[in-house]
Amino acid sequence: MRRSFRFARQLLSALQYQEHNCSVSLLKRQQTLLVDGNCTTSICRAINSVDTNRFLSPKLIISRALSTEAAKISNGDVNRGGPLVEYERKIAAGELVDGDSCQVGTLRELQRLYDEIVESADTCKLDRYAASDKSGRSRWLWSRFLPQSSYSPVKGLYLYGGVGTGKTMLMDLFFNQLPCNWRKKRIHFHDFMLNVHSRLQKHKGVADPLEVVAGEISDEAILLCLDEFMVTDVADALILNRLFRHLFSNGIILVATSNRAPDNLYEGGLQRDLFLPFIATLKERCVVHEIGSLVDYRKMTSAEQGFYFVGKDLSGLLKLKFQELVGEQTAGPQEVEVVMGRTLQVPLGADGCAYFSFEELCDKPLGAADYFGLFKNFHTLALEGVPIFGLHNRTAAYRFVTLVDVMYENRARLLCTAEGSPLELFRKVVTVSDAKQMAPRTSTRSRRNDDSDLCVDNELGFAKDRTISRLTEMNSKEYLEHHAAILTEKQLLQEDVNANAVLGMGGYLLL
């Protein structure tokens, strides 16, 4: 019996060694394609096209100080890729320009992570097809013969810093350098949590649904990139600790971006003591790195070219602009699906454009799920009557912040009328520390005649800077050109799909 067991282990070790060599060879070939830019499939062309536009839109700037370092890496190993090498290529191609040296350290961290992941790709079971061989029924047998590690040998990365410092762009630069066939996923944090809640609903009644959900997520992706990590909902806060404990034990590698340092997540939230273990786990499994730039690159765009109209009684102008975009099509009420069987009523919609009043979209009990559902069906939103935010409409302000986040993530176009500029919309929203500097009494939420509508709210006070920054960029020439390029790309892809469908039907009829 012992001889049989020893023979089985030797056989499995030999197979594993052969599989490792094949995986390394395949990985080198894929990296060569990525570095040389010779990916010729239609999927790669589409990805590269959209990716280039993403970097061109907000003129996010990285320092030339990395140029020499990136060149050394590229010359030292022709098969080596990574964010530094891609950065150098984009500099040479004129897609990025010289600028902020504060992002240099972040690129070094991302390159370090890239190198560690590539080196440990086989151990981490990142290859989608190699991992599938050990899934399902065979997983139990493999687990009996092969040693299992609880956590990934590679620590993730948690990037945080001020608004508009390039966190998302840098993470995408890293993510897109990794092979397409790896188990990786890049998703906005709002969308990720909606997906988690949807899965929990599906597994209701199971002894530990979070363990099942974590198993599903880690089967789909070992590298998980979450953009805009921000915890404001008590339901999210209460499940994050157990969810990520399961995910990390399944070997997940987390890369996240946030405006908040880990210790400041969910600050002042309900039952925060139950959330604190998650912060400890996050700091244990991720390298925490701050992007210290004080520059907001979203505001370094061309002069306003968009459809942000300040003033009252401008609904007629907004409807005129909306009709110009719709063209000859007739706008009418529509209904779109969101999640778990829910639907959202659109007052007016046509040709990918939707028209709402602020009250219909932000004063009703709607959330991120509804907004994601909306922008899966529409690429342009006309929003009438955005008010000045204060204590009296704090809940609507939270919804507006979420709406802008979802729009920005989907690169949607905004037409709106508002009572003030983006900065003026949030001038009455302050953090506790800001309120103390203004007047000691306001920090205790007491009211004074001159500050009766002052909204003292830490989460909203931090989130407003991101919203102001994004509204500014969404009104710029670069953003609107990027939006138009994405629409053109989608139309061309759809035309290709339609043409292929017609050709396929023609062949079927000939047969």
- Which residues, 6 or more positions from 168, have their beta carbon under 8 angstroms from its beta carbon? 227, 228, 257
Does residue 418 belong to any structural domain of this protein? yes
Give tens-digit pLDDT for 324-369.
999 888 999 999 988 777 899 999 999 999 999 999 999 999 999 9
pLDDT of residue 338: 85
CB atoms within 10 A of CB 94: 8
Strands 353-357 and 343-350, how do they pair?
Answer: antiparallel
Are 220 and 336 members of one domain? no
Asked if 388 and 419 touch (Cβ cutoff 8 Å), the reply is yes
Q: Is the dihedral of CA 457, 459, 462, 466 positive or negative?
A: negative
CATH number, domain at 371?
A: 3.40.50
Are 218 and 343 members of one domain? no
Which 8-state DSSP code applies to residue 15?
Answer: H
Which 8-state DSSP code applies to residue 330?
Answer: P
Does residue 319 belong to any structural domain of this protein? yes
Among the listed residues 112, 123, 111, 113, the one whose alpha carbon sits nearest the alpha carbon of residue 251: 123
Regions in the chain scoring below 50 on pLDDT: 1-68, 70-78, 99, 133-147, 149, 442-443, 445-450, 509-510
Q: Give the structural domain span for 489.
A: 483-511
Does residue 152 belong to any structural domain of this protein? yes
pLDDT of residue 297: 57
Alpha-carbon 333 to chain mean position = 30
Are 151 and 245 members of one domain? yes
Q: Point out the domain boundary residue: 291, 322, 354.
A: 291
Are 488 and 445 members of one domain? no
Does residue 3 belong to any structural domain of this protein? no
Structurally, the chain folds into a number of domains equal to: 3
Are 65 and 115 members of one domain? yes
CATH number, domain at 212?
A: 3.40.50.300
Among the listed residues 376, 380, 337, 338, the one whose alpha carbon sits nearest the alpha carbon of residue 356: 380
User: What are the angstrom distances between the C-alpha of 477 and each of 120, 217, 226, 480?
Assistant: 43, 38, 28, 5
Are 316 and 273 members of one domain? no
Are 374 and 497 members of one domain? no
Q: Point out the domain boundary residue: 259, 291, 323.
A: 291
Residue 171 to residue 177: CA distance in whole angstroms: 10
Asked if 239 and 271 touch (Cβ cutoff 8 Å), the reply is no
Are 247 and 166 members of one domain? yes
Does residue 14 belong to any structural domain of this protein? yes
Does residue 297 belong to any structural domain of this protein? no
Are 441 and 347 members of one domain? yes
Which 8-state DSSP code applies to residue 415?
Answer: E
Asked if 35 and 76 touch (Cβ cutoff 8 Å), the reply is no
Does residue 217 belong to any structural domain of this protein? yes
Are 45 and 124 members of one domain? yes
Are 384 and 420 members of one domain? yes
Are 259 and 397 members of one domain? no
Three-state DSSP at 164 gives: coil
pLDDT of residue 25: 41
Does residue 194 belong to any structural domain of this protein? yes
- Which residues, 6 or more positions from 105, have their beta carbon under 8 angstroms from its beta carbon? 289, 291
Kind and range of the H or E run holding 504: helix 477-510
